Amino acid sequence: MQAMSSLSLVDLQIVSPMPLMRVFRAYAAEVMYESLRMMRSPAFAIPFLLLPVPVYLFFGVMLAAPAVAKNPGIGTYLFSGFSAFAIMGPALFGVGCTLALERDAGYLKLKRAWPAPGGAYLIAKMVMAMVFAALAMLMMIVAGVAAGKAHLSATQLLIVAAAMIAGAVPFAAIGLFIGVYTSGSAAPAVTNIVYLPGMWLSGLFIPLPTFLEPWAVIWPAFHVNQLALGAAGVAEFSFISPAISAAVLTGLTVVFGGLAIRRLARAG
């Protein structure tokens, strides 16, 4: 223990305040390590980060080739739809299921006992979802451009990407909500109940039966897609105003995020 006695192990300066730079570093560390650990989790990274692009290439490019040949606009719509699909998974599962597991493990309790800056944990999860959305969009844009099926200008591609990255936030909020109200073993099942129907019934990649069409508006994925297409000015597939979609998504974020934070503050 020679090393020990030469070190000052205890800081008795009880009044020492936290320098602002250190507070900022704490947020940054939280975000960085949250993204890092998700990236390292193969159960998460393989299905949600690596799978969407092959799925897009197979269904959205190869199998849809005849339809796109007739109407190139469909290619753009499929690009946007599969992008929305690509950002949903990390946000819903990456936030919700890990939160539920960490609550089960008692980790969240420890986090609350530590002097982590306010909300760092939740913000880290939100930003992680956006980081993954950005990575997913990067790969989607490379794939879409390489396949030549996304008929969008560079500006439009950037707008779609920005909308999708922002669109990860409401899904992360829904994930938080699921994560704080369910146990680690139930969270995946509950998340799937939102994820799977939301994926198909929002009409992201297959035309919906007529009677289901009006119901697409209840799914957040539909609004993310509409926000991206509307903001990028793809009039052909813009069914509702992007402003309305943005408002719906903001509302979802506030409601689900707010409920989750309230419950976390009370029960942990």
For another protein, which residue of 20, 70, 114, 214 counts as binding (CB under 8 A)? 114
Q: Which residue's CB is nearer to another protein, number 27 or number 237?
A: 27
Chain centroid offset of residue 54 CA: 19
Angle at 127 between CA 121 and CA 130, to 5 degrees: 150
CB of 108 to another protein, least distance (A): 10
CA-to-CA dists, residue 241 to 46, 101, 146, 156, 211, angstroms: 35, 38, 30, 17, 22
Question: Rounded to whole angstroms, how far apart are CA atoms 249 and 253?
Answer: 6
Residue 68 binds to another protein (criterion: CB under 8 A): no
* Least distance from another protein to the Cβ atom of residue 203, Å: 12
Where residue 17 falls (left for φ over 0; alpha for ψ -120 to 50; beta otherwise) is beta
Residue from 75, 86, 91, 102 that binds another protein (CB under 8 A)? 102
150: left (phi over 0), alpha (psi -120 to 50) or beta: beta
Distance CA 112, CA 102 (A): 12
CB-wise, 37 or 262, nearer to another protein? 37
Residue 36 binds another protein, judged by CB under 8 A: yes
Site for another protein contains 42 (CB under 8 A): yes
CB of 6 vs another protein, minimal distance in Å: 10
In one-letter notation, the amino acid at residue 43 is A
If binding is defined by CB under 8 A, does position 154 make contact with another protein?
Answer: no
- The single residue among 158, 188, 261, 263 that binds another protein, judged by CB under 8 A, is 188
d(CA 76, CA 60): 10
Minimum distance between the CB of residue 230 and another protein, rounded to whole angstroms? 26
Instruction: Find the largest Cα–Cα distance for the chain.
Output: 78
Residue closer to another protein, measured from CB, 243 or 262: 262
Q: Does 71 bind another protein (CB under 8 A)?
A: no
Tokens of 17: 């305040």
Q: 67, 69, 196, 247: which one contacts another protein (CB under 8 A)?
A: 196
Q: Determine if 9 is a binding residue for another protein (CB under 8 A).
A: yes
CB 103 within 8 A of CB 177: no
Instruction: Count residues near another protein (CB under 8 A).
Output: 59
Q: How far apart are CA 166 and CA 86, in angstroms?
A: 13
Among 54, 79, 84, 116, binds another protein (CB under 8 A): 116
- Contact residues toward another protein (CB under 8 A) are 1, 3-5, 7-14, 16-19, 22, 25-26, 29-30, 33, 36-38, 40-43, 46-47, 59, 63, 97, 102, 104-107, 109-110, 112-118, 185, 187-189, 192-193, 196-197, 200, 206, 268
